Amino acid sequence: MDKFLIDGPCSIKGKVLISGSKNASLPILAATLLFDQPVIIKNLPRVKDINTMLNLLKSLGSKIILSKDKKTAKVINKKNMKTFASYSLVKTMRGSILVLGPLVAKYFKSKTSLPGGCLIGARPVNYHLAALKKLGMNYVIKDGYIIAKSKGRLKGRKIKFPKISVGATENSIIASCLAKGTTILKNCAIEPEIKDLTNFLNSAGANIIWSGRTCKIKGVNSLNHTEYSVMSDRIEAGTFCVAATLAKGNLEIKNLNPQIIKTELNLLKKAGAKIKTDNNKIFIKGPDKIKSIKNIKTKEFPGIPTDLQAQLMVLMCKAAGKSSITESIFENRFMHVAELRRLGAKINIKNNKAFIDGNTKFIGAELMSSDLRASVALVLAAIISNGKSHINRIYHLDRGYERIENKLKKIGVRIKRYK
């Protein structure tokens, strides 16, 4: 299993090119199951979760032709696709549940493994199932599988989600594209990745209109060939912005529309970062002294993303004073805390709130990754620690960050991947 060795503290300076968004690519790739004609998806990030989704599509019968740099995929579906999404593929990535909606919408049946829980919480799929049922999907759960059927095409309905869910919104939008009639989804998640999904579907002839948290989808008979370039990864960009703020860095972050991380940039300004933005660039300089911020709270977009919570916690550990972070999306997303304590952090957890004492002097140590965003937080902490840190189980990082060590090396981080 690969590990990272980081020799801190490192100063950070230079340019970072942001890759395609993993969380936008996954639903877009799942939605290619709706197509009879070939589809071309560009700007895919070269990360493990994308391989998992491509393997899942292949197992369902899609032919995938990858470009040399593996960032563009041409997806060609067979006439008779399979509808069985196996446990062995779904268990490694919860995003696999996104094939359920398109399989039932297009092929009127599916046997899809239940994804199960993961370290950051129970993560049920009840909202996905309830919405798809309203559209006409009947299902039973047997032996860990969702066995689903519909009598012909799904039917457009009005659905209000009881709670905002990114995945349930995506699954329902994808499924509604080919439904008979109009679907109106209320209380939707409106993350930029979901807008990217609907832009993609509209580019292929779908009829989707947004108004606030309401999404109106007029069903069409079929979708047309399209070529679509996935948006850039706002969590990767946010992570590098935190890195610059944390390490008195000076970075030019390229290839991302700064508007989509406005909330995050405002928060980092409060912490003392100097930020300028251009069309597709962010210039960020970290302060000499980081200011503490009370009551940071993760929220659905346009709030502070839960996927940036662990990174912000490292920042607050270095701030001058006390701060707190409330995690309001996932019930158990503080696994990084125990590892950060091993580097010297002073953090107390009460329910879903972390109380952080600032002015931490991080000292390098051997660390263990637990999930994708927790692992990148450990990398950030190791960059500003005194001495060497070894980070184990970085396969978590490889799920969502494209060769992060290459990008970090370019900006001055002493980092090595080894077995």
The catalytic site residues sit at 118
| Among the residue ranges 122-130, 140-148, 224-232, 308-316, the one whose residues contact ligand UD1 (CB under 6 A) | 122-130
Q: Kindly tell me which residue out of 62, 183, 292, 306 binds ligand UD1, with binding defined by CB under 6 A.
A: 306
- Tokens in use for 75? 């997806």
CA 180 – CA 157 distance, rounded (Å): 9
Q: Kindly tell me which residue out of 35, 127, 139, 334 binds ligand UD1, with binding defined by CB under 6 A.
A: 127
Indicate whether 401 belongs to the interface with ligand UD1 (CB under 6 A): no
Nearer to ligand UD1, 256 or 329 (CB): 329
Nearer to ligand UD1, 87 or 283 (CB): 87
Q: Kindly tell me which residue out of 168, 260, 296, 394 binds ligand UD1, with binding defined by CB under 6 A.
A: 168
Indicate whether 196 belongs to the interface with ligand UD1 (CB under 6 A): no
Task: Convert 12-49 to b/e letters by CB count within 10 Å (16 or more is b).
Answer: bbeebebbbbbbbbbbbbbbbbbbeeebbbebbbebbb
Indicate whether 125 belongs to the interface with ligand UD1 (CB under 6 A): yes
- Tokens in use for 234? 């706002």
CA 63 – CA 357 distance, rounded (Å): 53
Indicate whether 206 belongs to the interface with ligand UD1 (CB under 6 A): no
**Burial tier of 367 (Cβ tally within 10 Å: 0-12, 13-18, 19+):** buried
| Among the residue ranges 68-76, 161-169, 198-206, 356-364, the one whose residues contact ligand UD1 (CB under 6 A) | 161-169
- The size of the interface with ligand UD1 (CB under 6 A), counted in residues, is 22
Instruction: Give φ, ψ of 129 to 5 degrees.
Output: -65, -45
- The interface mask with ligand UD1, positions 71-110, x = CB under 6 A, is -----------------------xx---------------
Which stretches does DSSP call E strand in 45-160?
Answer: 63-66, 73-76, 84-85, 109-113, 137-142, 145-150, 158-160
Q: Kindly tell me which residue out of 124, 144, 181, 303 binds ligand UD1, with binding defined by CB under 6 A.
A: 124
- The interface mask with ligand UD1, positions 313-352, x = CB under 6 A, is ----------------xx----------------------
Measured between alpha carbons, how far apart are the two ends of the chain, in Å? 6
- Least distance CB 183 / ligand UD1 (angstroms): 18
Residues in the chain: 419
Q: Kindly tell me which residue out of 126, 138, 259, 266 binds ligand UD1, with binding defined by CB under 6 A.
A: 126
Indicate whether 389 belongs to the interface with ligand UD1 (CB under 6 A): no
CA 279 – CA 232 distance, rounded (Å): 13
Indicate whether 303 belongs to the interface with ligand UD1 (CB under 6 A): no
330 Cβ contact partners less than 8 Å away, ≥ 6 residues apart: 120, 121, 123, 306
Nearer to ligand UD1, 250 or 328 (CB): 328
36 Cβ contact partners less than 8 Å away, ≥ 6 residues apart: 77, 222, 223
To which H or E segment does residue 253 belong? strand 250-254
- Which positions touch ligand UD1 (CB under 6 A)? 23, 26, 94-95, 121, 123-128, 163, 165-168, 189, 305-307, 329-330
